[in-house]
Amino acid sequence: MIFYFTGTGNSFAAAHTIAEITHDELVDIGESYRMGRFSFRVEQGETLGFVFPVYDRAVPRIVADFIDWLAFITPNGNPFVPGYCFCAITCGEAVGNAAKELARTLKAALNIRLDASYSIEDVDNCIIKRSPGSPEARRMKNHAAHRQARSVAFSVNAKRMGSMEKKGALSAAAGALAALGSRKIDIAPFTVDRTACVGCGTCARLCPTRTVTIEDGAPRWDGERCTLCLACLQRCPTFAIDYGARTADRDRYVNPVFKRTPTRLSALAASVDMTVPDPDDVVRQGEYEEPDVDEPSDAALSAFALPAEADAGEGKKKAAEPDRLEG
């Protein structure tokens, strides 16, 4: 069973790519959390995986909380002992000590040992701090991430052990501070442009923590549980949501997996407990180009370095046809 959490699709894409190869069942943490579902039936000895984004070099709060509340039901009623337990953490650059933090959480909550940790570099979706890069740079990162996810899947099938994630330059102390910092989430900067908002409710339906509700035809943010996944902001079809002034002139980013095939769209719709009246209202037209991927050689697996990102400048997010979902 592979649990995944996603805000903008990178981890969703990675989890699906891995599960297609390992044939594991996928469970959406966001939907489960939203629906208050924390008990799952498993077979003793099956593989257990967690795929999620890193936030401020730490495990997203929603993922840590979910694991705290997670309970496994086994056929013989004994505590679940997976045959192999791994995590694949998606990131824009590096994951710091997030895998260690996850290992501690799993041990404390479920007495389960993390056997292997991987990272998958994709587009950095943290547009409240940084640009997501040029369309071409994003496309290349999406393709490289797809290759990395496939290599993770082969390693999972081979039950490879150890820490294989890219930690980046981060001391243990800085990692601990980052983990603490990521827990302090400020929802005050979220704003909505009421002239742009069409009251479709997508932001509320996508919010895994029910922080967003629709009041008087527009979103309102309230509560203590926002995990800063940015799904509400990034996936608003009319770009009506901002996070202070920082996002005003920045492109939005959504992984093209969300418009890949009708099957994937249906999976997305199911995963966030929403119906998609017209998918093209939520995701833009255009074909997603299936990455041209052969079985990776060892050399290919170790050569994920991408050319330096040539950010051609950020498009105005409210331009007539934003280029945020090019395939």
Ligand X SMILES: Cc1cc2nc3c(=O)[nH]c(=O)nc-3n(C[C@H](O)[C@H](O)[C@H](O)COP(=O)(O)O)c2cc1C
Q: Which helix (H) or strand (E) holds 221?
A: strand 218-221
The crossing angle, in degrees rounded to 10, of helices 262-271 and 10-22 is 110
Written as one string, the DSSP assignment of 59-112 is --HHHHHHHHH-EEE-TTSSPP--SEEEEEEEESS--TTHHHHHHHHHHHHH--
Q: How far is the CB of 50 from ligand SF4 (least distance, A)?
A: 18
Q: Which of 151/234 has CB closer to ligand SF4?
A: 234
CB distance 89 to 118 below 8 Å: yes
CB distance 100 to 148 below 8 Å: no
Q: How far is the CB of 84 from ligand SF4 (least distance, A)?
A: 30
Adjacent-strand bridge partners of 119: 89
Residues at the site binding ligand X, with contacts judged by CB under 6 A: 6-12, 53-57, 90-94, 122-126, 228-230, 255
Please tell me whether residue 206 adopts helix, strand or coil conformation: helix
Given ligand X, ligand SF4, none, residue 105, with its beta carbon under 5 to 8 Å by kind, binds none
Q: How far is the CB of 83 from ligand X (least distance, A)?
A: 26
Q: Of the listed pieces 44-52, 169-177, 196-204, 268-276, which binds ligand SF4 according to CB under 6 A?
A: 196-204
212 binds ligand SF4 (CB under 6 A): yes
CB distance 33 to 157 below 8 Å: no
Given ligand X, ligand SF4, none, residue 149, with its beta carbon under 5 to 8 Å by kind, binds none
Given ligand X, ligand SF4, none, residue 9, with its beta carbon under 5 to 8 Å by kind, binds ligand X
280: left (phi over 0), alpha (psi -120 to 50) or beta: alpha
Binding flags for ligand SF4, 227-266, as an x/- string (CB under 6 A): xxxxxx---xxx-xx-------------------------
Q: How far is the CB of 7 from ligand X (least distance, A)?
A: 3
Report the alpha-carbon angle 231-234-238, nearest 5: 120
Question: Applying CB under 6 A, which of residues 135, 168, 201, 327 lies at the interface with ligand SF4?
Answer: 201
Residues that bind ligand SF4 (CB under 6 A): 192, 197-203, 206-209, 211-212, 214, 218-219, 221, 226-232, 236-238, 240-241
